[in-house]
Structure 1
Amino acid sequence: MTTALLSALSDPALIAAAGRSKAWPFEEAKKIVARIEKRKGEARPVIFETGYGPSGLPHIGTFGEVARTTMVRTAFRVITEDKIPTRLLCFSDDMDGMRKVPENVPNRDLLTANLGKALTNVPNPFDNEHASFGHNNNAKLRSFLDTFGFDYEFMSATEEYKKGTFDQMLLKMLEKYDEVMEIMLPTLREERRKTYAPFLPVHPKTEVVMQVPIEERNLETGTIVWTDPNTGERFETPVTGGHAKCQWKPDWALRWAALGVDYEMSGKDHIDNVKTSSKICKVLGGNPPDGFNYELFLDENGEKISKSKGNGLTIDEWLTYASPDSLALYMFQKPKTAKRLFFDVIPRAVDEYFAFLEKYPEMDADAKVNNPVWHIHSGNPPVTPVPVSFTMLLNLVSASHAHDKAALWSYIGRHSPGVTPSSHPKLDELCGYAIAYYEDRVKPFKTFRTPDAEERQALAKLREVLLALPTDASAETIQDSVLSVGRAFERFQDLSKKSPDGGPGVSLEWFATLYQVLLGQEKGPRFGSFVALYGLKETAEMIGQALDGTLSKG
């Protein structure tokens, strides 16, 4: 990130354009600039924060939050010409008590026996060197973030509570206990109000993070008194030094105030929680961070994605079929709009990413800072030409039944002489992704339709026309021939359109027929481009197989 940012900061035109940009990361960055101008000379870094609950493994939402926050941080650094230091804190709430056992972990009985304990006190169910379940998940998080090259500082709630980072604010919260309760109680159900307290003492014998009423508070000793509901034993516990933690909304406020957090995003479902935590932060003498509430992801049916339902798309699934760059593009686009997050969004995201990348070098400064790839690559997008789209590769795999990249390259090399895996490594990477995506997400759902009598006539004519074309015919020439065949059949004419010679245009039904009969799909590529890549002879053979009924048998 540093090298990329240095490149952006060395271009005065880009810096000026950044100040004018309406791209959402710059709009967010300008809010932070306005915020720090009110500090009246206070010199300290601008703190960006993202939060993570390590009760399970990192997920696609974790990536989205860190990626988007990084984009805002980069925008801020550019418009301020990197004259103000910044930090990105990735905070793990690993002192939270484990409330339920995830279904996708081994040794579930071991975890069940330790329910209620802080995640860093729950034994590690995995066969590795990590000291606890929480430590294991933290290691996964850090590895996850490092894979994408994020520039961040990891912070553990357990470590920060124990070493006293929050002690001053914890004592302040004890002092302001009644004011905090006045904020919290109206947000709770009536039954919950009876037992609620902003402090969660850690049981000195069982290590369980207790959710119990606070019976007494001692400001002089900084302690709280509570009773174990199971044994009736009373305890006096310091609120400092990791002997207690805060409930999550007060904890969020505590963290903002203690660490001086300036910017933190959160999902739309946390709008009311942000308001509540902001009030508590002010009671503690802090200034709540700026940020925005991003929209949530939807599944294939338009329903909210739920970790418990497992109806979403995981980070591993996306990275099986496409690169992190395409996922970053998906996260960049319309963060305040609810979007479907399912397998079928991947091909479009991949092709849009490379389309933006291809346009970038020829853009002026104003257009560059509004191009998503500028934000994805921190101001310095790579030069990686990809002459064949991901969608086209998918259709090539479908038609050729290729099971390895070498088979695909035999077609690509013939279509684009001089283009090789070594000269175009990104294209080679896409070939691997396309094969994996086709095998898992396309092939199992393909349904070839048998052509009717009139469609058979049209396909036979198309086969004849393609075989008559010169072997080096361009994609445009082939497309014109495909259109001419369609126009020759009244069924495929579209009288609302005009052909270049003034005759009727071609209806979408003609192309739907080609896709459904030849590719077993409802949609497909620009057919002339596909034929140019796949080959005239090969396409004619495919049509022949569709006509004799052997195509669907593969």
Structure 2
Amino acid sequence: MLDSPMSDLQTLCTAAKAWPFEQARMVVERLKKAPKDTVIFETGYGPSGLPHIGTFQEVARTTMVRHAFRCLTGDQIKTRLIAFSDDMDGFRKVPSNLPNQEMLAEHLHLPLTKVPDPFGCCESFAHHNNAKLREFLDGFGFEYEFMSSTEQYKSGAFDQTLLTMLDRYDQVMAIMLPTLGEERRATYSPFLPISPKTGRVLQVPTLARNFERGTITFEDEDGAKTEVPVTGGHVKIQWKPDWALRWTALGVDYEMAGKDLIDSVQQSSKICRALGGNPPEGFNYELFLDEHGQKISKSKGNGLTIDEWLTYAPPESLAYYIYGKPKTAKKLYFDVIPKAVDEYISFIDAYQKQNEAERLENAVWHIHSGNPPSNVTPISFALLMNLASASNAETKEQLWAFIRKYAPGASPETHPFLDKLTGYALRYFNDFVKPTKVFRAATEKERAAFEDLIRRFDALPADITDGEAIQNEVYAVGKEHGFEPLRDWFKALYEVLFGVESGPRFGQFAAIFGVRETSALLRKGLAGELLKAA
């Protein structure tokens, strides 16, 4: 099928430089060497803490690679995306951001699917975290198959590969032992038996192996020598061999991983080959950092959660932020949200004017699987927050009163994205912008410029909505009053009127808010009323 004549889109895709195409072409080359009917894309998730955006980004980015692969191959080859939860792993540490800390501490070392849910709503802690992950993935419309480690081990799906690992135990140990410290080497085994007496996942040496019976022998917590099968969910495999087990048993063709897992990928790939498998293609992405430049951690609860981002911005903006420069470390905290939203909107607007080749390089093509929406909003996120500030609006309806004057045909029904955006903007403004506003009085030079701008605005038609024409008046005032550089003039407007140092184009703000209303705002700024109100 890979040798079939290419469509025009396929031809463009082969030359596209966007990173999802670069990754997808690696999978195409893999198939040329080892053809198969279905290509398996996988993402992994450790449900030992609440899901965070670092978890979501793997599914989002892998989905982008999967779609690029489909376009490169003309969608002639079946694909699956498996979201795999390592929920049979032992519960080793109680995350500090969870309730019921004492209760959780009593269940350390049990498989995560056996740890009670601290929130009291699900069958186990793992079930709760898995549900939170799936809830978001489903809400965004991802096409994926959720797979549970516990179910795979217990159902027998991994049995054949587990027996192969038992048979090739010495090869696996030869790969792993040189990577471990002296103390760890003395007790290491790829097999972690689950105690028949306590149910805990034990990190203990393997004392004996019996391939004919498919068993290992170990010393249980009470000191008794115990024999268990390696099949049927009686053991859990250590992290790096477990990754290799999964790749081999499921036939995974593509999986990306964080930069901190480079060594794990290398060792797991060696073990995968030892088991007779072919390690997947992929790349190591840079990690998200919190506002202090520290790696985001599930146990620490630093950085943003999925729910926090979605409280203040649409999911499309999160996908946009995740798309860009995956091999560059990026900070992920509340301050990045407004810029991500408005850049997403600008890429949507640009898409309509681009040719097919240019569109393949546009982030929104990858975010929306080749079918981005059009005309999502005529007003930016930053402008909506300025509108909320100037009007003291507390509800979406109050903002829509201004929006309708600026865009008479717009409504929540015709512009549902904009309607949602008004709600996000109000929440973000009230929680993050309003508490940090610092108003100041105008200087004498600024006062004269403000008075000039008021006169010019008062001379404009009251119903003018031409943001560029209004912006030209603002520019003219700044130049005539000797502001050098001119950005100092706009900085003055924003500091006196909004209590912030910068913002979107002032002309468009005045067009939406109304030139008469903006004149009144300028007068309040000159009179010191905004400073007093703060």
Q: Is residue 413 from structure 1 mapped to residue 392 from structure 2 by the alignment?
A: no
Q: Is residue 98 from structure 1 mapped to residue 91 from structure 2 by the alignment?
A: yes
Q: Is residue 163 from structure 1 mapped to residue 158 from structure 2 by the alignment?
A: no
Q: Compared with structure 1, are the counterparts of its residues 118 and 137 closer, same or farther at alpha carbon in structure 2 (3 Å cutoff)? A: same
Q: Is residue 241 from structure 1 mapped to residue 220 from structure 2 by the alignment?
A: no
Q: Is residue 76 from structure 1 mapped to residue 69 from structure 2 by the alignment?
A: yes
Greater shift in the superposed pair: 239-248 or 345-354: 345-354
Q: Is residue 55 from structure 1 mapped to residue 48 from structure 2 by the alignment?
A: yes
Contact 2:96 2:299 in 1 (8 A): no
Of 134, 148, 163, 1:142 maps to 134
Contact 1:253 1:281 in 2 (8 A): yes
Q: Is residue 175 from structure 1 mapped to residue 167 from structure 2 by the alignment?
A: yes
Query: Helix, strand or coil for the counterpart of 2:438?
Result: coil
Query: Helix, strand or coil for the counterpart of 1:206?
Result: coil
Match of residue 57 from structure 2: 64
Instruction: Measure how far apart 1:179 and its partner are.
Output: 1.6
Contact 1:475 1:528 in 2 (8 A): yes
Instruction: Measure how far apart 1:309 and its partner are.
Output: 3.4
Match of residue 523 from structure 2: 544
Of 496, 509, 525, 1:517 maps to 496
Greater shift in the superposed pair: 242-251 or 408-417: 408-417
Cα deviations across residues 432-490 of structure 1 (Å, max 9, x unaligned)? 11111101111111111222233223222322332232324432332222222222333
Cα deviations across residues 223-272 of structure 1 (Å, max 9, x unaligned)? 111113x4221111211111111101000011111111000010011111
Look up the equivalent residue of 2:377 and give its one-letter code. Answer: V
- Once residues 513 and 155 of structure 1 are traced to their aligned partners in structure 2, the CA distance between those partners, rounded to angstroms, is 56
Cα deviations across residues 7-30 of structure 1 (Å, max 9, x unaligned)? xxxx94333312221111111111
Instruction: Measure how far apart 1:364 and its partner are.
Output: 1.8
Q: Is residue 377 from structure 1 mapped to residue 368 from structure 2 by the alignment?
A: yes
Instruction: Measure how far apart 1:388 and its partner are.
Output: 1.1
Unaligned runs of 5+ in 2: 1-5
Q: Is residue 291 from structure 1 mapped to residue 270 from structure 2 by the alignment?
A: no
Q: Is residue 126 from structure 1 mapped to residue 119 from structure 2 by the alignment?
A: yes
What RMSD over aligned residues (CA atoms) do the two structures have, in Å? 1.7
Greater shift in the superposed pair: 191-200 or 305-314: 305-314
- Once residues 375 and 456 of structure 2 are traced to their aligned partners in structure 1, the CA distance between those partners, rounded to angstroms, is 36
Query: Helix, strand or coil for the counterpart of 1:224?
Result: strand
Look up the equivalent residue of 2:349 and give its one-letter code. Answer: E
Contact 2:89 2:111 in 1 (8 A): yes
Cα deviations across residues 29-81 of structure 1 (Å, max 9, x unaligned)? 11001001111xx5331111011111122211121100111111111111111
Look up the equivalent residue of 1:58 and give its one-letter code. Answer: P
Contact 2:258 2:285 in 1 (8 A): yes
Contact 2:7 2:74 in 1 (8 A): no
Contact 1:405 1:432 in 2 (8 A): yes
- Once residues 110 and 302 of structure 1 are traced to their aligned partners in structure 2, the CA distance between those partners, rounded to angstroms, is 32
Look up the equivalent residue of 2:481 and give its one-letter code. Answer: F
Match of residue 16 from structure 1: 11
Alignment of 1:180-191 (within 5 A): 180-191=172-183
Contact 2:94 2:299 in 1 (8 A): no
Of 256, 260, 264, 1:273 maps to 264
Look up the equivalent residue of 2:294 and give its one-letter code. Answer: E
Unaligned runs of 5+ in 1: 1-10, 495-506
Cα deviations across residues 165-205 of structure 1 (Å, max 9, x unaligned)? 11111111112212211211222222222221111000010
Count how many residue pairs are aligned between Structure 1 and Structure 2.
Answer: 527
- Once residues 36 and 468 of structure 2 are traced to their aligned partners in structure 1, the CA distance between those partners, rounded to angstroms, is 62
Of 299, 303, 313, 1:322 maps to 313
Look up the equivalent residue of 1:284 and give its one-letter code. Answer: L
Contact 2:81 2:144 in 1 (8 A): yes
- Once residues 27 and 444 of structure 1 are traced to their aligned partners in structure 2, the CA distance between those partners, rounded to angstroms, is 44
Contact 1:14 1:369 in 2 (8 A): no
Cα deviations across residues 509-548 of structure 1 (Å, max 9, x unaligned)? 1111111111100111211221121122211221222222
Q: Compared with structure 1, are the counterparts of its residues 109 and 304 closer, same or farther at alpha carbon in structure 2 (3 Å cutoff)? A: closer
Contact 1:58 1:144 in 2 (8 A): no
Alignment of 1:305-454 (within 5 A): 305-454=296-445
Q: Is residue 201 from structure 1 mapped to residue 193 from structure 2 by the alignment?
A: yes
Q: Is residue 25 from structure 1 mapped to residue 20 from structure 2 by the alignment?
A: yes
Greater shift in the superposed pair: 22-31 or 373-382: 373-382
Of 31, 34, 37, 2:32 maps to 37
Contact 1:200 1:212 in 2 (8 A): yes
Identity in percent: 59
TM-score by length of 2: 0.95
Match of residue 497 from structure 1: none
- Once residues 473 and 99 of structure 2 are traced to their aligned partners in structure 1, the CA distance between those partners, rounded to angstroms, is 60
Instruction: Measure how far apart 1:308 and its partner are.
Output: 3.4
Look up the equivalent residue of 1:299 and give its one-letter code. Answer: D
Query: Helix, strand or coil for the counterpart of 1:264?
Result: coil
After TM superposition, where is structure 1 displaced by more than 6 Å over at least 4 residues in a row? none
Query: Helix, strand or coil for the counterpart of 1:263?
Result: coil
Of 458, 469, 487, 1:477 maps to 469
Query: Helix, strand or coil for the counterpart of 1:89?
Result: strand
TM-score by length of 1: 0.92
Contact 2:217 2:228 in 1 (8 A): yes
Q: Compared with structure 1, are the counterparts of its residues 348 and 158 closer, same or farther at alpha carbon in structure 2 (3 Å cutoff)? A: same
